[in-house]
Amino acid sequence: MAAAQTPDAKELALVGKVEMRIALADSEKKLQDLLKVYLAPLLLKLASEHVAVRNKVISVCQHINTRIKSQDLQLPVAALLKQYKENAHVALIRHFDILYIQQGISRLPISDRLELLPILIQGISNDYEKSTQHASQLFHLVLRLLVHFKLPPRGSKEDTELRATLGVTDEDAAFLSKWFGKLILLTLVKHSASDPPTTARCAGLSVDDYKFLTQQGKPDAWDPSSDAGLSLTESKALVTRLLASGMFKDEEKFLPALFASADTNSRISEVGDDILKRVMLTQDLEDSSCVEALFDLYFGSSSPDGTLPVKTPLRIRILGVLSKSVRCTTYPHKIAKIVEDGLLSVELNPTNKTAGREASKFRSAIFSLVNFVARRGGASNLSAVAVSLVGNLRAFIQDQGWPVVDRDQDMELRGYGYETIGLLAKAAPEKILIEPTLDLLEWLFRSLREDTAGKDVAVSIEEALSSVLGSFSKPFDESVMPRFRQTLLRYATVDQVTTPASSHFTRSTR
């Protein structure tokens, strides 16, 4: 009586039979039919507890790989994808499943490919938790299929029901909107020997984000001339249009739309801007998590592998959104850092002629935010940073030339600076206005008298003086009174004078 086969011998025998059938297939048609039946079950054997069985399956796969190079040979992609989703805890099965899915998906008719889209999307957030590498590959496959997906007309019944039609859960929608947003931020980085792709990152993204979007640094992931490569620009435009659809809720659209609105490509920015205008009507800008997310994008992370700050055009957009949020005024130190970094940086200094229009818009957005904060912020929050804010705003004005202004400076920003100083001084007078030297009051009076910037700026200085007037109408420290009287008398008795041509015009402060 023959001895009973051991379990591993039985499994090896089954794998051997499949190997023999595949080896004997003498045409592409026969091989295709065999793979349709046997490929998915063969890969299931990668879950075997026996090393010899797993190694045998891998050996058979190596043989299969040499015979499926023809683009005419179709693979059982649907069965493999279903198997991939059902074997979340067997990394080896999922690894080989996805290899054949990636090879086979572009060989299917477009209609067959699109039938796989809901299966790919469903559970993709869970796939990410199991393996970021596999989720990265699935995400790339989703993008490849979306190229062929025809969006229903915006606002139509089909558009409204798109989320349900594709079976997208809240978790998967949140995952996709997050990564569509990060995709819009992606800028490909040229690698060098000292900067390998595994450490690359770009503005708005961390090292891990960059790895995910480039399939762990795969060189042809974003090379449209390669078999599975995609065009980055086209993919950004594609996901932006998808974000406008009924597949996503307003709160899921907010950040990706904000990113898209600042893109340099008008095909992306115009759609993003349109989405942003719609979702801003419902977005809760007083939510702390929303405000903190905007600050995190603006400043980036201090970690060596963390998120880099976003580019200036998006920073301008973020400042515009923050200027509508009273909640942002409760983060005074972050506001102070925005001013210090933005107004006093060498690159954006107004004397730097290469700074250009973008830098001017950036500084204008900073002033708008600080002006908003000065008007709407609470006294305790403002007093915490008022001294440093006023100091930096004065430094900005003096960097432009003070009191004699340099040529080619932005006078609108100069005026804005004076007005904001007045508002901040009014908000925290005991710290920066009513002090023994009355330095700021003196500075404002001298600015009104001698600043050469012109009539509009003079009006702004008068507005600043008007803002601080109320602080002196209330009782204040008697020790300051002599200096206060002396200052008022001096600037009330100085006559308006037109000095020689070599000097500048002085205004009356009477």
- Confidence tier at 193 by pLDDT (50, 70, 90): low
pLDDT value of residue 427: 86
- Residue 259, H or E segment: helix 250-261
174 and 301 belong to one structural domain: yes
pLDDT value of residue 431: 82
Q: Report if residue 499 sits inside a domain.
A: yes
410 and 310 belong to one structural domain: no
Which stretch of 163-167, 321-325, 492-496 has the lowest confidence by average pLDDT?
492-496
292 and 407 belong to one structural domain: no
- Tell me which amino acid residue 337 is: K
Give the 3-state secondary structure of residue 16: helix
> How many structural domains are present in the chain?
3
DSSP one-letter code for 91: H
Q: Report if residue 132 sits inside a domain.
A: no
pLDDT value of residue 502: 36
- Write the burial class of residue 296 (CB in 10 Å: 0-12 exposed, 13-18 middle, 19+ buried): middle
Measured between alpha carbons, how far is 493 from 505 in angstroms, rounded to an integer? 17
Question: Is the predicted pLDDT of residue 308 greater than 60, yes or no?
Answer: yes
Show which of 292, 322, 352 is a domain's final residue. Answer: 322
Q: Report if residue 124 sits inside a domain.
A: no
Question: Is the predicted pLDDT of residue 501 greater than 90, yes or no?
Answer: no
Calculate the average pLDDT of the chain. 90
Using alpha carbons, select from 183, 320, 206 the residue that is nearest to residue 259.
183
245 and 309 belong to one structural domain: yes
CB atoms within 10 A of CB 473: 7
- Which structural domain, as residue segments, surrounds residue 246? 162-187+197-322
Measured between alpha carbons, how far is 400 from 43 in angstroms, rounded to an integer? 70
- Confidence tier at 194 by pLDDT (50, 70, 90): low
Cα 285 from chain centre: 17
375 and 313 belong to one structural domain: no
Segment 13-31, tens digit of pLDDT: 999 999 999 999 989 999 9
pLDDT value of residue 182: 98
Q: Report if residue 146 sits inside a domain.
A: no
Segment 102-135, tens digit of pLDDT: 999 999 999 999 999 999 999 999 999 989 999 9
pLDDT value of residue 347: 53
What is the percentage of the chain residues whose pLDDT exceeds 90?
Answer: 76
Q: Report if residue 120 sits inside a domain.
A: no
Are 74 and 28 in contact by the 8 Å Cβ rule? The answer is: no
Q: pLDDT: is 430 or 397 the higher one? A: 397
pLDDT value of residue 505: 67
Using alpha carbons, select from 324, 339, 313 the residue that is nearest to residue 277.
324
pLDDT value of residue 51: 94
Question: Is the predicted pLDDT of residue 498 greater than 60, yes or no?
Answer: no
Residues contacting 472, CB < 8 A, separation 6+? 434, 484
Show which of 285, 304, 322 is a domain's final residue. Answer: 322
Show which of 64, 86, 108 is a domain's final residue. Answer: 108
pLDDT value of residue 1: 41
Give me the mean pLDDT over the 155-163 stretch.
Answer: 94
315 and 361 belong to one structural domain: no
Give me the mean pLDDT over the 307-328 stretch.
Answer: 97
- Confidence tier at 428 by pLDDT (50, 70, 90): confident
Are 46 and 90 in contact by the 8 Å Cβ rule? The answer is: yes
215 and 286 belong to one structural domain: yes
Q: Report if residue 406 sits inside a domain.
A: yes
Give me the mean pLDDT over the 275-296 stretch.
Answer: 96
What is the percentage of the chain residues whose pLDDT exceeds 70?
Answer: 93
DSSP one-letter code for 192: B
308 and 209 belong to one structural domain: yes
Q: Report if residue 137 sits inside a domain.
A: no
Give me the mean pLDDT over the 302-313 stretch.
Answer: 94
359 and 485 belong to one structural domain: yes
Question: Is the predicted pLDDT of residue 454 greater than 70, yes or no?
Answer: yes
Segment 39-55, tens digit of pLDDT: 999 999 999 999 999 99
Give me the mean pLDDT over the 429-442 stretch.
Answer: 90
pLDDT value of residue 497: 47
Q: pLDDT: is 219 or 381 the higher one? A: 381
Give me the mean pLDDT over the 391-397 stretch.
Answer: 93
Q: pLDDT: is 285 or 453 the higher one? A: 285
Segment 324-382, tens digit of pLDDT: 999 999 999 999 999 999 887 655 554 444 457 888 899 999 999 999 999 999 988 99
98 and 231 belong to one structural domain: no
- Confidence tier at 507 by pLDDT (50, 70, 90): confident
Using alpha carbons, select from 246, 244, 253, 282 the residue that is nearest to residue 156.
246
Q: Report if residue 338 sits inside a domain.
A: yes
pTM across the whole model: 0.89
Give me the mean pLDDT over the 412-416 stretch.
Answer: 91
332 and 458 belong to one structural domain: yes
360 and 446 belong to one structural domain: yes
pLDDT value of residue 350: 45
Give me the mean pLDDT over the 230-251 stretch.
Answer: 96
Helix, strand, coil percentages for the chain (3-state, nearest 5): 65, 0, 35
pLDDT value of residue 508: 87
Give me the mean pLDDT over the 245-273 stretch.
Answer: 97
